[in-house]
Amino acid sequence: MNPSVTNPYSHLVAEFSRIVTEGRSLPLGGFPAPTHPAPAVGAPVALFFAPHPDDETITGGLALRLLRENGWRVVDIAVTLGSKPERKEERWQELRNACQYLGFAVERTAPGGLEAVRPENREREPQAWAEKVQVAAAFLEKYQPKAVFCPHELDVHSAHIGTHFLVMDALRVAKLGSCFLVETEFWGQMSKPNLMVEYTAGDVADLVAATSFHRGEVQRNPYQLLIPAWMQDNVRRGAELVGGAGKGAPAFMFAQLYRLRRWNGRQLENCWEGGRNLAAGTNAASLFS
Domain boundaries defined on the chain: 44-288
| pLDDT given at position 3 | 59
| pLDDT given at position 1 | 56
Mean of pLDDT values over 237-244: 94
Mean of pLDDT values over 239-261: 93
Amino acid found at 222? P
Q: Is the pLDDT of residue 248 over 90?
A: no
Residue 122 — φ and ψ, nearest 5°?
Answer: -60, -35
> Are residues 153 and 181 in contact, defined by beta-carbon separation less than 8 angstroms?
no
Give CA angle at 8 (7, 10), nearest 5°: 70
d(CA 231, CA 143): 30
Q: Is the backbone of residue 156 left (phi > 0), alpha (psi -120 to 50) or beta?
A: left
| pLDDT given at position 286 | 96
Q: Which is more confident, 9 or 3?
A: 9
Q: Is the pLDDT of residue 163 over 90?
A: yes
- Where residue 4 falls among pLDDT bands split at 50, 70, 90? low
Mean of pLDDT values over 224-234: 97
Mean of pLDDT values over 269-277: 94
| pLDDT given at position 165 | 98
Mean of pLDDT values over 215-226: 96
Cβ neighbours for 145, distance < 8 A, ≥ 6 positions apart: 44, 45, 46, 47, 75, 179
Beta bridge partners of 268: 263
Q: Is the pLDDT of residue 179 over 90?
A: yes
Q: Which is more confident, 60 or 3?
A: 60
Span 92-120, pLDDT tens digits? 999 999 999 999 999 999 999 999 999 99
Q: Which CATH number fits the domain 44-288, given the four candidates 2.40.50.140, 3.40.120.10, 3.40.50.10320, 3.40.50.970?
A: 3.40.50.10320
**Residue 174 vs residues 139, 143, 214: alpha-carbon distances, Å:** 9, 11, 31
- Whole-model pTM: value is 0.95
Under DSSP, the state recorded for 144 is: -
Q: Is the pLDDT of residue 152 over 80?
A: yes
Q: Is the pLDDT of residue 245 over 90?
A: no
d(CA 83, CA 76): 19
- Where residue 2 falls among pLDDT bands split at 50, 70, 90? low
Beta bridge partners of 260: 182
Paired sense of beta strands 147-151 and 73-78, if any: unpaired
| pLDDT given at position 153 | 98
d(CA 68, CA 280): 12
| pLDDT given at position 289 | 86
Beta bridge partners of 47: 75, 148
- When the pLDDT of each residue in the chain is averaged and rounded to a whole number, the result is 96
